[in-house]
Chains A and B, each alone.
Chain A
Amino acid sequence: MRVAVGLLALVVAVAGAPRSVWDGVYSKEQADRGRAGYNSKCARCHGDALLGGENSPPLVDQDFLEKWKGKSVGKLVELTRKTMPSDGPGKLSRQQCTDIIAYLLSSNEFPAGNTDLVSDAAVQDEIVIQPKQ
């Protein structure tokens, strides 16, 4: 029975029980990797403090959360993968983008958990971005 419950929990987690960014969906190590990726691929336009730039939106705080509230982490990762960096989109892997988004989540002070955010779109699509209530 114990085994069965454990299995059920695993199935729910993988198959995508609704989660939010408050559930520790990335790890600190992953955010650190993402920071390096951000600095090399994103900071030129979005700024070293993610405050945005001349024609690049901020990736933290009110404006960012206003735009992304209720949307999924998967959507944010996919948009990044398809359209960024704007001067040469499509060259970042889904894993690289996932790490960079982990850094964005960390910068927006969503808590880190014990495991990495996996790059599987189906899992990411079930994680909702929610501002602090």
Chain B
Amino acid sequence: MMSYYHLPLFLGVLSYVFWSLSFLMRKMFPLRLLALASSTCAIFYFSFYLDEPLWLNIFWKLAFTFINLYQITSLIIERSQASFQDEEEELCYRENFSSLSIMEFRKIINVGAKISAPQGFCFTEENVKVKSLVLITKGIASVKVKDKIIAYCRRGNFIGEMSLITGLPATAAVEALDEVHGYQWNAESLKTFIGNHPELRKELQAIFNKDLVVKLLQSNLA
């Protein structure tokens, strides 16, 4: 049977077990929970194992506990807010961003803004640096090279993603043929966001690739 003497030691061992397990986690939420469990056990261990509490360790473990509690709370709040604002947003998620979690999708959407561009609006100009990325949710835009229409961008197509990927000026002019609705992201803000969220960079590239395939098919058929 475990005596009072052995309990703090057991908690000390348990704190290392939780700590080791946390390194095996790939998702942030279980990782934080295990880290929290580890530091909580360690606080009891450092408080009761020796005759005198080890304040240095207790202080640091308390700091880690608060950090993890804060992060867990933030994650829970983020998750609770992970819902769609309207039908258009939900459709946009299902059609273009379904490889992301709703929470990740919301993060990306929050960096951009909804737009409504009138007929004739110029999204990009040939050989001019692209300042923003646009995703069309409604309407049609023409893609022109030397004033000749070579393709059309419709619902689910991105505008400006090629320049965003290559860093080069636009290779074509894109103009709204009727009122175009969609989402717009400032290129620099999006680049900063991607830099801060490397895990989303890969997913976004995969989403762009799907759109590029559609565009390549169109250009082959033209």
A interacts with B = no
